[in-house]
Amino acid sequence: MCTGSEANDLALRVAKQATGHRGVIVTENAYHGVTTEIAAISPSLGGVGSLAEWVRTVRPPSGDGTAMVADARTAIAELQAAGHGVAALIVDTAFASDGFIAPSAETRAALAAVQALVRAAGGLVIADEVQPGFGRLGARGAGSGAAEASLWGFPRHALEPDLVTIGKPMANGLPVAGLVARRDLMQAFGERVRYFNTFAGTPVSVAAARATWDVLHDERLPEHAADVGDELRGMLAELAGRHDRLRGVRGSGLYLGVDVVDPESGDPDTPAAVALVSGLRERRILISASGRDNAALKLRPPLPFSRADAERFITELDGALGDLG
Amino acid sequence: MCTGSEANDLALRVAKQATGHRGVIVTENAYHGVTTEIAAISPSLGGVGSLAEWVRTVRPPSGDGTAMVADARTAIAELQAAGHGVAALIVDTAFASDGFIAPSAETRAALAAVQALVRAAGGLVIADEVQPGFGRLGARGAGSGAAEASLWGFPRHALEPDLVTIGKPMANGLPVAGLVARRDLMQAFGERVRYFNTFAGTPVSVAAARATWDVLHDERLPEHAADVGDELRGMLAELAGRHDRLRGVRGSGLYLGVDVVDPESGDPDTPAAVALVSGLRERRILISASGRDNAALKLRPPLPFSRADAERFITELDGALGDLG
């Protein structure tokens, strides 16, 4: 396939075929893509009102995690009562649009419980690694197995997905995406459904994907992302100490978020976040605003991002904050 | 976008948003792509039973065309009675999976009538040019306006689409696709729906698309497709005169079909068609079997295909037919 949207769309088709169910559970501000099917499970695009009738949302696994488990029980009961059943739980394993959830014993326990409830209802678990995958969250390599595992977001949360979708960084900017799944699921789908895709595995994209994979390993970019990400997070925290408009530095590796707030009230300040994005663009640095209020800065630089790049970013963000007054 | 599936998926999203309706009308063996939404309007993938409940099929505009108009009346009435309303009629303008419908006064009149019925019901018309577009059907250039028009399939049938989807040959093998639409439709959609696509307009694909466009014009490939297509069709007809397994040579430009039949009964012979595809593959020529019975050979060579290539193809097909015995 070419895009993460196509990968998630196919993952849902496989899950619905395999389970015979239709219901899908997503986190409450999830983003998974833009096809008709996937926009209908992406509340971050248009709110809960934009979701299909066979979709239910749960709070992400933050705090002590009990909220997510309670929501999942309700969601499953509602989907079953409506006759949809449960086809799948799908999660972005960085929980980026839900505000970047860091792994903890509590969140892992919550996800394990939700996973068990979904499986008991006959549903599958889909890990959306389109954004977090390929080492973006940073790898701490102790032995090659651990390094491999930390290329992905799902092991951090002890998730055991049946299907995993990959894309975006896979060929460093060229369009290619994929679906990794349990063999029995793909076999059953292949026997029942005709699926082909003209540009799946198109040679230029595949050559770029192979080269990207080699560079990722040879230059130890996942480990580099962990190191530079820690430095950048430290610099951001220091900057937030000097500017009362910045709060809540969080994230992992080279995938970080920081809230922009009103200095008086502490409330999310969407206009200020948008102004900072514009100010940085004038300074030739491209980032975006994200989150439920569109008031968090979302930082997702290329993995070869260096300490010098991080310093330049902080200098320019400092300047843009100064321009805001 | 990257794929024709994504383009058709977005076209339907736009049509559903614009009309506030949900119903879609397709031809009875249509193929439009593989996302969940588009597979649900593609009976050629899984038959009428695979379609969503808001889809109705009509016979393609063959013969005197009255069948399609009658089917459209029924389809619209059913969609309205079910509360879906009519969002769109979508047609592949070569009607390839429906058996390649050539333009005629009768088919044009049928399509004009169906188009008027759909519009009267508040629906839009989508021309799927993913396969026929970019000159594949052959251009007869008398003046540049005529040559431009004949880059596409819809003017041949006097269709006046509100939305046109393009893809596949656009960048000669690299993934890029597009949606061309009335300005007011895109404006309204853009105001109401957040849509973005990481790889839409990715630089390598766009460079390839520009180069493809230049070569198409500089080498007059649409005109070339008309000339070589006529020659190939003539050679196929001659071959069908010598082999009673081949019947019904049809199509336009370099997009041709020919039925494989049982010499005794004249019925479609799927195993023979599959054997011919395999036999040609062993002879290093790739084609596919298509149509409702998967018993028609579908010929869609690259546009620079030459008379010599056509002669080689006919020689090898003759040989593969001989191997069948």
> pLDDT digits over A252-289, tens only?
999 999 999 999 999 999 999 999 999 999 999 999 99
Report which of B91, B233, B94 is spatially closest to residue B150, judged by C-alpha positions.
B94
B32-62 tens-digit pLDDT: 999 999 999 999 998 888 999 999 999 999 8
For A166-170, A218-222, B192-196, B225-229, which range has the lowest pLDDT when averaged over its residues?
B192-196
The CA distances from residue A17 to A125, A186, B75, in Å, are 14, 10, 27
Mean pLDDT highest for which of A228-237, B92-101, B150-159?
Answer: A228-237
The confidence score (pLDDT) of residue A305 equals: 97
CA angle B131, B119, B60 (to 5 degrees): 45
Q: By the CB < 8 Å criterion, does A195 face chain B?
A: yes
- pLDDT-based confidence at residue B147 (cuts at 50, 70, 90): low
Token pair of B9 as six digits: 């998926």
Q: What is the pLDDT averaged over residues A285-301? A: 93
The confidence score (pLDDT) of residue B40 equals: 97
The confidence score (pLDDT) of residue B177 equals: 97
Residue B35: which of A9, A167, A174 has the nearest Cβ? A9
In this prediction the ipTM stands at 0.92
The confidence score (pLDDT) of residue A148 equals: 57
Q: In this complex, do A205 and B175 lie within 8 Å of one another by their Cβ atoms? A: yes
Q: What is the pLDDT averaged over residues B243-258? A: 95
Token pair of B132 as six digits: 């026929």
Q: What is the pLDDT averaged over residues B226-255? A: 96
- pLDDT-based confidence at residue A139 (cuts at 50, 70, 90): confident
Report which of B140, B10, B242, B162 is spatially closest to residue A35, judged by C-alpha positions.
B10
A144-169 tens-digit pLDDT: 555 556 799 999 999 999 999 999 99
Architecture of the domain spanning A221-324: Alpha-Beta Complex (3.90)
Instruction: For residue A205, list chain B residues with Cβ-Cβ distance below 8 A.
Output: 174-175
The confidence score (pLDDT) of residue B148 equals: 57
Token pair of B215 as six digits: 């070569």
pLDDT over 80 (residue A143): no
Give the closest-approach CA distance of B239 to chain A in angstroms: 30
Give the DSSP letter string of A97-125: TTT-PPP-HHHHHHHHHHHHHHHHTT-EE
The confidence score (pLDDT) of residue A27 equals: 97
User: If DSSP states are collapsed to H, E and C, what string results for A159-207?
Assistant: CCCCEEEECHHHHCCCCCCEEEECHHHHHHHHHHCCCCCCCCCCHHHHH
The confidence score (pLDDT) of residue A172 equals: 93
The confidence score (pLDDT) of residue A223 equals: 94
Token pair of B141 as six digits: 């250039």
B98-114 tens-digit pLDDT: 989 989 999 999 999 99
Give the closest-approach CA distance of B36 to chain A in angstroms: 6
Q: In this complex, do A197 and B3 lie within 8 Å of one another by their Cβ atoms? A: yes
Instruction: For residue A1, list chain B residues with Cβ-Cβ distance below 8 A.
Output: 3
Q: What is the pLDDT averaged over residues B154-165? A: 96
B264 burial level (CB within 10 Å; 0-12, 13-18, 19+):
exposed
Q: In this complex, do B45 and A9 lie within 8 Å of one another by their Cβ atoms? A: no
Q: By the CB < 8 Å criterion, does B202 face chain A?
A: yes
A10-56 tens-digit pLDDT: 999 999 999 999 999 999 999 999 999 999 999 999 888 899 999 99
Give the closest-approach CA distance of A154 to chain B in angstroms: 23
A4-218 and A221-324 have identical folds? no
Q: In this complex, do A36 and B13 lie within 8 Å of one another by their Cβ atoms? A: yes
> Angle between the B221-242 and B307-324 helix axes, to the nearest 10 degrees?
30
Q: By the CB < 8 Å criterion, does A191 face chain B?
A: no
The confidence score (pLDDT) of residue A39 equals: 97
Sign of CA dihedral A275, A280, A284, A288: negative
Q: In this complex, do B196 and A9 lie within 8 Å of one another by their Cβ atoms? A: no
The confidence score (pLDDT) of residue B49 equals: 84
Q: In this complex, do A174 and B202 lie within 8 Å of one another by their Cβ atoms? A: yes
pLDDT over 90 (residue B23): yes
What is the rounded distance in angstroms from the CA atom of residue B266 to the CA atom of residue B259? 10
Q: By the CB < 8 Å criterion, does A205 face chain B?
A: yes
Q: What's the mean per-residue pLDDT of chain A?
A: 94
Instruction: For residue A35, list chain B residues with Cβ-Cβ distance below 8 A.
Output: 6, 9, 35-37
A163-204 tens-digit pLDDT: 999 999 999 999 999 999 999 999 999 999 989 889 988 899
Q: Where are the domains of chain B?
A: 4-218, 221-324
Residue B3: which of A34, A45, A198 has the nearest Cβ? A198
In the block, residue with structure tokens 């393009």: B166
Q: Which of residues 4-23 of A touch B (CB under 8 A)?
A: 4-6, 9-10, 12-13
The CA distances from residue B295 to A49, A121, B69, B289, B319, in Å, are 46, 43, 27, 6, 18
Instruction: For residue A3, list chain B residues with Cβ-Cβ distance below 8 A.
Output: 1-3, 6, 197-199
Give the closest-approach CA distance of B139 to chain A in angstroms: 25
The confidence score (pLDDT) of residue A211 equals: 97
Report the percentage of chain B scoring pLDDT > 90: 87
The CA distances from residue A8 to A4, A174, B150, B153, in Å, are 6, 18, 37, 32
Residue B174: which of A10, A13, A202 has the nearest Cβ? A202
Interface test with A, best of B10, B189, B198 (most A CBs within 10 A): B198
For residues B173 and A202, the answer to whether their CB atoms sit within 8 Å is yes
The confidence score (pLDDT) of residue A147 equals: 56
Residue A40 phi, psi (nearest 5): -75, -5
Give the DSSP letter string of B15-67: HHHHHS--EEEEETT-----SHHHHTT-HHHH-GGGS-TTEEEE--S-TTSHH
Q: In this complex, do B37 and A39 lie within 8 Å of one another by their Cβ atoms? A: no
Q: Domain B4-218 carries which CATH code?
A: 3.40.640.10
Q: Which of residues 19-78 of B touch A (CB under 8 A)?
A: 34-37, 39, 45-46
* β pairing state of B163-166 and B178-181: antiparallel
The CA distances from residue A149 to A152, A180, B167, in Å, are 6, 15, 37
Torsion of CA A204, A205, A209, A212, to 10 degrees: 70
The confidence score (pLDDT) of residue B141 equals: 64
